[in-house]
Amino acid sequence: MYDSPLYRMALRQLDRVAERIHLDPWIHQRLQVPKRAWIVAVPTLMDDGSLSVFTGYRVQHDFSLGPSKGGVRYSPNVNLADMTAMAMSATWKCALMDLPFGGAMGGVRCDPERMSLGELERMTRRYISEIILSIGPEIDVPAPDLCTDEQTMAWMLDTYSLQKGYTRSGVVTGKPLILGGTQGGSRATGMGVIFALEETLRALRWKTQAPTLAVQGFGKVGAAAASLLYQKGFKVIAVSDVRGGIYSPRGLDIELLKKHREESGAVVNFPGAEPLTGQELLEIPCDILIPAALENQITEENADRLRCKIVIEGASSPTTQEADEILEGKGIFVIPDILANGGGVAISYFEWVQDTQHLFWTEEETTWRLRDIMSRGFHKVYQYAQREGVSMRLAAHILGISRLAEAHKLRGLYP
């Protein structure tokens, strides 16, 4: 039931850490599987009057530090094993970032590109009603991920609240501001990537003026990161989205590119730029590469051809384990996903705290808190990696999993 390359990679990562930190065998075994996993039928009325029965998943990997937290994605590739791997990764991420959450992940196996807004709304509402027993502000808190957004979260909040009979805004995060969302929410993951990158450049004593940048993925994370770095004077030389990529060695005007994308629906055909594919983008010479699209993009096939100095992983699991070893051998500095995109779940934590207390913060307050959490996370991982002579990825996993192991040990086994 649980088998996919992503899940196998998650298990190998856990095994590697377990060996290094002498993890108790029972905790190791427990962390290999989720605490619980829901598989639900999601019958949905389609616009043409027919009924489609989609399959929905919600995998809750761990509860030992608090309620579980993780995104919901709509994609034809959603399956139980991948959801489990992503939920495990969410657990390590929350533990690493010192958040009082465990990890979860959910999704519906469907093709959202081919569905109308009405169909998406009906599917979302039915999915939430099917898993309603298992979610809640103190139980498990969904958030946006691939092909889900603020509107999806608003439908989820509404469905949950109508069934309970009162509004509980803390049941989901990533909501519109007016429904209990947080200031700075939509740009937070991209902003977190920037804060982690700034710490990296300082730690590496980077001297280059206007470093060059390539960004794979121009969605919530990639577009926000590209835009913020462009404003800071970085030279963004290549960008791609699902429809293809563009390249200009002189640098792209990201503000104009955002307008072009709004009007045309894609980054391709941007005036003055050369076309290239999302795969070619990974291999162009640049200082910093931000994979911010999908998992499994940097593989043993292409890792050797990368010509960047730093990879900062905006997406989750963009690098396979084999590729990771190649990058390490080439001396490329990799800031791993669970640290680099940790700003997403950090801002979710801020939103959940505000909802729970009914006290809302200003944008300045959320921004400094985000900077602080990213900076502390970075230095913790960097210092450990330096001291122990291990990669940033291994350091991040060791720190996250050790914290979790301590919680499991203290709580013990019941009965």
Q: Quick check: 341 binds ligand GLU (CB under 6 A)?
A: yes
Paired with 55 in beta bridges are 41, 109
CA atoms of 312 and 190, how far apart (whole Å): 11
CB of 143: closest distance to ligand GLU in angstroms?
A: 3
Closest CA to 78 of 11, 147, 22: 147
Q: Of 89 and 212, which has the nearer Cβ to ligand GLU?
A: 89
Q: Quick check: 69 binds ligand GLU (CB under 6 A)?
A: yes
- Is-contact 106 72, C-beta < 8 A? yes
Q: Of 212 and 367, which has the nearer Cβ to ligand GLU?
A: 367
What is the torsion angle, in degrees rounded to the nearest 10, for the CA atoms of residue 27, residue 29, residue 32 and residue 37? Answer: -90
x/- letters, 123..162, toward ligand GLU (CB under 6 A): --------------------x-x-----------------
Of the listed pieces 22-30, 69-77, 238-246, 390-398, which binds ligand GLU according to CB under 6 A?
Answer: 69-77
Of 83, 345, 396, 404, the one binding ligand GLU by CB under 6 A: 345
Q: Kind of pairing, strands 212-216 and 235-241? A: parallel
Residues with Cβ within 8 Å of 91's Cβ and at least 6 positions away in sequence, in order, are 31, 61, 62, 68, 102, 103, 400, 404
Angle at 81 between CA 141 and CA 304, to 5 degrees: 105
Tokens of 257: 């590119």
Q: Which of residues 108-127 bind ligand GLU (CB under 6 A)?
A: none
Handedness of CA 217, 219, 225, 226 (dihedral sign): positive
Q: Of 193 and 303, which has the nearer Cβ to ligand GLU?
A: 193
Of the listed pieces 157-165, 207-215, 285-293, 341-349, which binds ligand GLU according to CB under 6 A?
Answer: 341-349
Residue 251 one-letter amino acid:
G
Of the listed pieces 124-132, 258-266, 323-331, 339-347, which binds ligand GLU according to CB under 6 A?
Answer: 339-347
In the bound state, the residue with its beta carbon closest to ligand GLU is: 344
Q: Quick check: 70 binds ligand GLU (CB under 6 A)?
A: yes
Only one residue has tokens 């039931």, namely 1
Q: Of 4 and 52, which has the nearer Cβ to ligand GLU?
A: 4
Q: What is the DSSP string of 304-352?
A: GG---SEEE--SSS-B-HHHHHHHHHTT-EEE-HHHHTTHHHHHHHHHH
Q: How many CA atoms lie within 13 A of 196 on its CB side?
A: 36
Q: Quick check: 344 binds ligand GLU (CB under 6 A)?
A: yes
Residue 113 one-letter amino acid:
E
Q: Quick check: 71 binds ligand GLU (CB under 6 A)?
A: yes
Q: Quick check: 84 binds ligand GLU (CB under 6 A)?
A: no
x/- letters, 292..321, toward ligand GLU (CB under 6 A): ------------------------x-----
Tokens of 331: 């001396």
Q: Kind of pairing, strands 244-247 and 274-276? A: antiparallel
Of the listed pieces 41-49, 247-255, 264-272, 344-352, which binds ligand GLU according to CB under 6 A?
Answer: 344-352
Q: Of 211 and 344, which has the nearer Cβ to ligand GLU?
A: 344
Residue 165 one-letter amino acid:
G
Footprint of ligand GLU on this chain (CB under 6 A)? 69-71, 143, 145, 173, 189, 316, 341, 344-345, 348
